[in-house]
Amino acid sequence: MDYYERFRVTPGSKVDLDKFDPSHKKLHNERQEAEQETIHLRERIRDLQYQMYAERKRSLLVVLQGRDAAGKDGTVRHVFRAMNPQGCRVVSFKVPSKEEAEHDFLWRCHKVTPGLGHITVFNRSHYEDVLVQRVHNIVPKEVWSKRYEQINNFEKMLHENGTHILKFYLHIDQEEQLERFKKRLDKPAKNWKISESDYSERPFWDEYTKAFEEALRRCSTEYAPWFIIPSNRKWFRNLVVARILVAAFESFQMQFPEPTVDLKEIRRLYHDEVKKENDE
Amino acid sequence: MDYYERFRVTPGSKVDLDKFDPSHKKLHNERQEAEQETIHLRERIRDLQYQMYAERKRSLLVVLQGRDAAGKDGTVRHVFRAMNPQGCRVVSFKVPSKEEAEHDFLWRCHKVTPGLGHITVFNRSHYEDVLVQRVHNIVPKEVWSKRYEQINNFEKMLHENGTHILKFYLHIDQEEQLERFKKRLDKPAKNWKISESDYSERPFWDEYTKAFEEALRRCSTEYAPWFIIPSNRKWFRNLVVARILVAAFESFQMQFPEPTVDLKEIRRLYHDEVKKENDE
């Protein structure tokens, strides 16, 4: 099943989130089966990441967006934990610091884009600047409305310079969000995660929907696609993200690089060294 | 078995690396048993890291040093992969860039020390500046000889501001290193890792020994201890590092933080919301 194409937002297409079932689970009625596949995919991701790291030819930038409790942290924990941290960094974007706010909105993101062979996962991202900033009028419309094109140009430049981009919108509905907030209340070890925004943002649900729809519509491009991931079921969300990741990696058709040194010469050196030690 | 104390370099003690058996494996004659324990320790590390991340009260800085092929990358892959990348970053220090070289040697390290709740693993570190720089006279003795105290002061300052520091010297012998280099030659998927320094540095073995010994002697402190890890056997190395890590985490006596919001008030809000939805 080609989940890459299935869940990709076709560039230029209109997005109506109501038409996307957040509880969608495709052919996977069996949770256990899906979890098994995700475990296998994680091993595949591990191998492919190693090859990308060795190759040092391209970078991968992953963007995770979604409402509060949509599962951004969970996706990191279940899918991206597969990666060797040596080549994979997760950056969480919070409310901008004073210094960050004194720069254009892409400045703090650009500083942490991945280098060759590396992966960066943005947990929230520059898209916050057309989401929360738009919904709460933190900047006027004439400012945020120009940002879609600015984002596209930025992502295009990254792509043209060797950074592959994948953007995941984790799609849950209002009932599922409330359920998750309640679970945080019931588990003492989860209490610390509860923040005021959990409930103060809920009245803005529809405004966020509009803002997400516009970002998905205007910024899903050939060079930096958005994927809408049905996320009410965490195990299905993990499976879909893992499959898309593997599909992207495989499209790179990677190869281990040629050694930078003369292997024959080194074999001779080692041979001589062992001989010398034996002679002594 | 208290591996933390067993492998720690007692502050102020003389270090003679010849007296440390790199093939040491303590009571673990059974490789399989040790690997099983490491798997369990990884799960424990996962839980403890989550607690540290939630608590946001302290940071952890891990330094990995050792000769070429000593297993720095392998330790990251086998032990630190346990961590959620959201709170754990691995930084590999290479030959300094032009900008880095134009600053003091601690500058590039300080920029990437961990924030509260976070872990940074240094794969190589500021210790390179009293190792390779000393062995190859890249800076004169009057420069590098002052660095031990500078390092101690830097690490003390980090410690006093909430950063716990653990430093691992991965100890292998000359025969093991040659074996590992040869394996890189034999495995096509490892060929890319071979660099000129693999063999060009071998004649400097004894000079490096002296430099390591001085760093271990002068910079193992109460606030930032060095550990000498027997590393000829990879499975034993992983076990020892994992045990020390768990011991350090446990010494923090962490607790989940109190919620920052009024839980009663939120329960009421959610209750009202559900009621309203049902009434509609």
pLDDT tens digits, residue range A237-251?
999 999 999 999 999
The stretch A85-93 carries a mean pLDDT of 96
From first to last of its 280 residues, what are the pLDDT tens digits of chain B?
589 999 999 999 999 999 999 998 766 668 999 999 999 999 999 999 999 999 999 999 999 999 999 999 999 999 999 899 999 999 999 999 999 999 999 999 999 999 999 999 999 999 999 999 999 999 999 999 999 999 999 999 999 999 999 999 999 999 999 999 999 888 888 888 888 888 889 999 999 999 999 999 999 999 999 999 999 999 999 999 999 999 999 999 999 888 888 888 888 877 787 777 677 6
pLDDT computed for residue B72 by the predictor: 97
pLDDT computed for residue A112 by the predictor: 97
pLDDT computed for residue A28 by the predictor: 64
Its ipTM equals 0.81
Contacts of A260-263 spanning 24+ positions with Cβ under 8 A: A260/B192, A260/B194, A260/B195, A260/B196, A261/B194, A261/B195, A261/B196, A263/B185, A263/B191, A263/B194
Which of B89, B181, B194 lies nearest to residue A259, judging by beta carbons?
A: B194
Residue whose tokens read 């045990």: B243
Nearest-CA distance B9 → chain A (Å): 27
Residue A244, CA distances (Å) to A6, A44, B241 in order: 10, 12, 35
B97 and chain A in contact, CB less than 8 A: no
Other residues' Cβ atoms within 10 Å of the Cβ of residue A68 = 17
Look at phi and psi of residue A68 and say left if phi exceeds 0, alpha if psi is from -120 to 50, else beta: beta
Its domain, for residue B100, covers 3-279
Residue whose tokens read 């959990």: A198
Confidence band, pLDDT 50/70/90 cuts, at residue A85: very high
pLDDT computed for residue A263 by the predictor: 84
The stretch A18-47 carries a mean pLDDT of 89
A53 and chain B in contact, CB less than 8 A: no
Residue A186 has pLDDT above 70, yes or no: yes
Question: How many domains is chain B built from?
Answer: 1
pLDDT computed for residue A198 by the predictor: 83
Cβ pair A222, A167 in contact under 8 A = no
Residue A233 has pLDDT above 90, yes or no: yes
The stretch A177-188 carries a mean pLDDT of 90
What integer best gives the mean pLDDT of chain A?
A: 93
Q: Do A192 and B81 touch (CB under 8 A)?
A: no
pLDDT computed for residue B29 by the predictor: 67
Residue type, A240: V
B residues 221-260 lying closer than 8 A (beta carbon) to A? 256-260
pLDDT computed for residue A113 by the predictor: 97
Confidence band, pLDDT 50/70/90 cuts, at residue A141: very high
Residue type, A155: E
Residue A280 has pLDDT above 70, yes or no: no
The stretch A104-111 carries a mean pLDDT of 96
3-state SS track over chain B: CCHHHHHECCCCCCCCHHHCCCCCCCCCCCHHHHHHHHHHHHHHHHHHHHHHHHHCCCEEEEEEEECCCCCHHHHHHHCHHHCCCCCEEEEECCCCCHHHHCCCCCHHHHCCCCCCCCEEEEECCHHHHHCHHHHCCCCCHHHHCCHHHHHHHHHHHHHHCCEEEEEEEEECCHHHHHHHHHHHHHCHHHHHHCCHHHHHCHHHHHHHHHHHHHHHHHHCCCCCCEEEEECCCHHHHHHHHHHHHHHHHHHCCCCCCCCCCCHHHHHHHHHHHHHHHHHC
CA–CA gap between residue B148 and residue B142 (Å, rounded):
12
Residue A209 has pLDDT above 70, yes or no: yes
Domain CATH code at residue A76: 3.40.50.300
Of the residues A42, A64, A76, A270, the best mutation for testing chain B's interface (the one with the most B CB atoms within 10 Å of its CB) is A270
- A contacts of B86 (beta carbons < 8 Å): 73, 76-77, 90, 92, 123
